[in-house]
Structure formats: C-alpha cells, structure tokens
Amino acid sequence: MAEESILTDDFLRELMNVGEVDLVIGVPTYNDAKTVGQVVQAIRAGLLKYFPRHRSVIINADGGSKDGTQDLVRAASISDLQHVTNVSALRTLHCISTQYPGGPASGTALQTILAAGELLRANASAVVSPDATSIEPEWMDRLLQPVARDNVDLVTPVYGRQKSEGLLVRSLVYPMSRALYAKRVREPYPTEFAFSGRLGSHFLAKDIWSQEVGHIGAEIYLVISAIAGGFRLAQSFVGTKSRVMDHSSGDLVFAMRQTVGVLFWSLEQYFPLWSAQTESQPIPTIGAEHEISPEPVPIIPKRLYEMFVRGVAEIEPVLKSILSPQTLGELQRAATVPEGNFQYSDELWVRTAYEFAASYHKAVISRDHIIQAMAPLYRGKAYAFLEQNRDATPAEMENNVEALCQTFERSKPYLLELWNEKK
C-alpha cells in the first residue's frame, strides 16, 4: 500500500528497469550539492570493493533540491571512481534519483527508500546521510556485512567523535533510550544504518507515515520498533563522524523534536514493553564501542550557561506546569550559582527528563511546547557536561557517560510512578 502512495510513476518505471537486487543504498537529500557527490562516490567505491557479486542500487530520495543535488548524484554515479581504480562490478550497480512529494522530510525519504527496497526485494539496505563528509568506502562493509552475511536485522553506527559533539545523544537520547528499552544502542538516532528486508517491510507497514513522527524522527522510531519487534540488533564502528554544519544542524529545538519528541511519543506506544524491562543489555558491537577524541574541549560556550539561566527565569510559568516543585526549585537554585561553580547533577537531570516524559504523556500543555521548554534545561546540562569533561581522558569521559546511564536506569521506577499517577 505504501508503494502506491509514495512512489511516483516515473520512479516505478526506473525501479522496474532495475529489477530485483540484493542491496539498496538510500541517500536522502535536500540541497546537499556541496557534499553529495563525494558521498555517492564513496558508496559506489564501497559497493564495488566489498560487494562486487551483489546486485546493487543506489537510490537518491530528494526532497525538492534547488541546487542541482539530483544532477550531481547522477553525475557521481557515472563518473570515474577515485577511490578504487582496479575494481569493477561483476553484477549490476544502478543509481536512481527521485523526488518524493510533500517537501523535504527525512521520514518521507526513508519511506521512499523502504518502499523501493521492498519492491526490489532487497535482502539488505542501508541509508547514508548526504553530509557525511568523512565517509569511507569501508563504511559500506561495516554497515552492510552484518546484515548481508550474519542475518542481523539492524546495524546502527558507532562514531568516533569530538568531546563536544553529539551532546544531546550522549546526555539524553542514548542514556534514556537505553534505560527504557534495555538495549545499549549507542546511536539511537542514526544517520547511517543498515537493515534487513524483513525489518524494512515490518517498519514500512507501520501506521506512522501520515503522522508527524513519520516525517521527522522516523530513524529513532525504526530503532525502537526493531527493539520492540525482537529483531536482531548490532552496532558497528564506522569511523569519525564529521558533518557540514548547515542551518538545521545547529537548530537545537528541531533536533530535540526529531529525537526526544519521538522517544517520548514512543513511550505511549510501547508502554507494556518498557515498563517491564529492568536492566539494560549490551548488543553485539563490531569494532570499537566508542571512540572519543582525547583533545580537550576547545571552547565551552558561555552562551549555553547564560541561556540556561535566562531560560529557567523566563519560562518559569511553563516549567511550573511540567516539573514538580522540588525539581523546579533545585533548577532555580542551580541557576543562581555563578558560572564557575555551576553544576547540573545527573540525579537532577534524570529527574528533569523523566518529569518531562511524564508531562508529555499527560499532555499537561501542548506536547511541542513541552519539547521546546526542555531546550533551555538541556543547554544547562550540556554546559555542565562539557565543564565536567573539559580535561577528562576518553576513558574518564566514557565513565561519566556510563554513570549517567546508570542513574537513568536506577531512577526508572520514578518515571513509572509518575506515569501511573492520576492524570
């Protein structure tokens, strides 16, 4: 059913010309002319090098780019490869670009890729972000091989990161999703991942594509659905994550809607699952489990602290309807502490996150407003986290992340208590 609505006639014709394939690589784009050529080249090189006997297709799902992204994808697919000069495909390797309807939305792009993968009966598929400038051909091997060879259903990435990168994932999305769904998936909101045809069809059949979660944040919901559906998970170290900062990548509220919003939303769908889980379990990891750059944090943005202090004061009436008086009181006291001595303890942060999740469930105010109201508090935690790890070694920083995760797990009964309170 999904194919009928999302795949255009021209795209269907192109897919029919391709015929059945073994591998589908999806590249969702929107005005990514600066980087997409390099990414497609790396994907092709990876496929030729590691999967020369597989029938493959690269599918570019574009949200209506106006900077010639689609032309660049097509050009990259027929240009000479710089990465691999002495390898050629033994089977077919196609590259198709299509524009999906409804404007740019990562979820719709994913739906297009899933529908195409199902139609082409691909055994394994991968999605690669068009702004992954650090991509190497080896990423294809690391992501796809566990699915193609070992029958894993979902492979999420593990990235090498700078200390100051991916703070929302490290301080909230990973620890909270791990505590709730009891699986230690380091990147619950992956921008590069691989999945089996079985999981692709399972997820495509979900009734989410007409909802907001189907447009933004479908990636994290895919991971949660895979956990809930009992699919085989693994994670694979791919390398350093380096991206071009564009307008949207610095937009904290948008990032929180994509990740925290969908995580909170999923709690209602999967209450029987997460409420019954206790201790988290590791999932098979290929390569390093984490790799944090040892360099000290160059600048700790003072604005994070200032926006936290100002946010707590300005949105107090909103926070009153979300947080308990005790938590709000502690936050207000923390906001009076000078910058040098500022602390946002793990316990307080976990309580804040759980109270927000419960308020989201009870819809005490507009749910989008709840997510927006969390942004200033996250800034405070991000600042405290950077201060705490300014000169920490990678191992020390990892210990700090682990301690936060354990606090989330220990405090899970508090969320259940809040959840079951009368609305």
Q: Which residues bind another protein (CB under 8 A)?
A: 164-169, 189, 191, 243, 245, 249-250, 252-253, 255-256, 258-259, 299, 301-304, 307, 310-311, 314-315, 318, 321, 364-366, 369, 372-373, 375-376, 378-379, 382, 423
Based on CB atoms, which residue is closest to another protein, 124 or 135? 135
- Tokens matching residue 224: 């949660």
Report, in Å, the least distance between residue 158 CB and another protein: 14
Based on CB atoms, which residue is closest to another protein, 365 or 418? 365
Based on CB atoms, which residue is closest to another protein, 202 or 290? 290
Q: Are 150 and 379 in contact (CB under 8 A)?
A: no
Report, in Å, the least distance between residue 249 CB and another protein: 5
Based on CB atoms, which residue is closest to another protein, 8 or 321? 321
Report, in Å, the least distance between residue 330 CB and another protein: 20
Based on CB atoms, which residue is closest to another protein, 72 or 375? 375
∠ Cα 107 30 59 (to 5°):
70
DSSP secondary structure code for residue 58 in this structure: E
Distance CA 30, CA 25 (A): 17
DSSP run (H or E) holding 27: strand 23-29
Q: Are 291 and 248 in contact (CB under 8 A)?
A: no
Based on CB atoms, which residue is closest to another protein, 93 or 373? 373
Report, in Å, the least distance between residue 378 CB and another protein: 8
DSSP run (H or E) holding 284: none
Exposure string over 113-124, b if 16+ CB within 10 A, otherwise e: bbbbbbbbebbb
Q: Are 408 and 280 in contact (CB under 8 A)?
A: no
Report, in Å, the least distance between residue 366 CB and another protein: 6
Based on CB atoms, which residue is closest to another protein, 58 or 218? 218
Q: 169: burial class by Cβ within 10 Å (0-12, 13-18, 19+)?
A: buried
Q: Are 381 and 312 in contact (CB under 8 A)?
A: no
Report, in Å, the least distance between residue 302 CB and another protein: 7
Based on CB atoms, which residue is closest to another protein, 117 or 261? 261
Report, in Å, the least distance between residue 306 CB and another protein: 8
Does residue 99 sit in helix, strand or coil?
strand
Q: Which residue reads 């005005």 in tokens?
A: 31
Q: Write the CB contacts of 331 (distance below 8 Å, at least 6 apart in sequence).
A: 312, 319, 323, 348, 352, 377, 380
Report, in Å, the least distance between residue 46 CB and another protein: 23
Distance CA 408, CA 395 (A): 20
DSSP secondary structure code for residue 297 in this structure: P
